[in-house]
Structures are given as C-alpha cells and as structure tokens.
Amino acid sequence: MKKILTASVLAAALLSPVMASATEAVDKVLITLTSAEQQTRGMAMVLGNMMQAKGAEVSVLLCDTAGDMALKEQTSEPLKPKNVTPEQLMKKLMSGGAKVDVCALYLPNKGVGVDALLSGIGAAKPPVMAAALIDADTRVFNF
C-alpha cells in the first residue's frame, strides 16, 4: 500500500506542472495581421477583443495591405452580422488598451509618414517586435 501511495504522490507531483500549464490563462497576445481579406481582418479583431475581454494584454502588428487599416483615410465595408468594420473593431481593441503598430516597412513603402496613421497607432521597431515574438510568455496569432 505504501508503494502505491508513494507512486501516486510522485505521479501527481510530476503531472501538476503539465496540468497547470494547460489551464493557465495567457497573459500576453500578439496578433500579426497581413491579410487583405476583410473577413480575415474582421475575425482577427473580433478574436483580439474576445481575448482582451478574458484578461489578455493584446498587441497587434499590421503588415502589408493590412497596414491600410491604420490609415486615417481608410474606410471599408461593414461586416455582417454586427455591421462593423475591421477598423471599428480595431479601435475598440485600442480603447481597451491594446497596442497597435504598423510594421517597420509599411510607411516607407506606402510612401506616407506617421502622420497618416490614426491616433494611437505607431510604427513598430524591429528589435522590440522581435523580442515580443520570442517572449515565452507571449502567444502569437497570425492572420
């Protein structure tokens, strides 16, 4: 009986870190968005808002044509069923504290400056973004 109890305690001790990591909430989320597709952009922002509502600290990196979402002049068609645009969903995410940046290559290749971006959106710095991408405490989602 003593051997069975010892084995059970040992097994519980070994499995507890595995079980804890499977149930722990993700504290930091980085969403990289490159898609030109409206529904993909919208869903990325919907999921970002949902993760933020669950307590995650959300950051967004907009690259390639997805960077257009950050432009003051950008307007897109509302998506059903809520009739909101990806940009509106992004602004909601930002109002909840999310950090949004365009990739470092976006502005020079678009031929515009930082002043063309919506208030609160910046240009990512590669060393900072690289550190975030490899941070063991950050979950990265690519759209």
Tell me, what CATH number does 61's domain have? Answer: 3.40.1260.10
Residue 42, in any domain of the structure: yes
What is the crossing angle of helices 86-95 and 38-53, to 10°? 20
Phi, psi of 50 (to 5 degrees): -65, -40
Phi, psi of 10 (to 5 degrees): -65, -45
Residue 88, in any domain of the structure: yes
Residue 116, in any domain of the structure: yes
Determine the structural domain holding residue 68 and report its residue range: 27-142
Whether 13 shows a pLDDT value over 90: the answer reads no
| Spatial separation of the C-alpha atoms in residues 139 and 141, rounded to whole Å | 7
3-class DSSP assignment, residue 60: strand
Residue 10, in any domain of the structure: no
Tell me what the mean pLDDT of segment 26-32 comes to.
93
Tell me what the mean pLDDT of segment 114-141 comes to.
97
First to last CA, the chain: 54
Residue 102, in any domain of the structure: yes
Q: pLDDT tens digits for 55-81?
A: 999 999 999 999 999 999 998 999 999
Assess whether the previous peptide bond of 17 is cis (omega < 30° from 0): no
- Total count of domains within the chain: 1
Q: pLDDT tens digits for 31-64?
A: 999 999 999 999 999 999 999 999 999 999 999 9
| Spatial separation of the C-alpha atoms in residues 62 and 85, rounded to whole Å | 16
In this prediction the pTM is 0.82
CA 140 to chain centre: 7
Poorest-confidence range of 18-22, 26-30, 37-41?
A: 18-22
| Spatial separation of the C-alpha atoms in residues 41 and 87, rounded to whole Å | 9
Banded model confidence at residue 25, pLDDT cuts 50, 70, 90: low
Residue 93, in any domain of the structure: yes
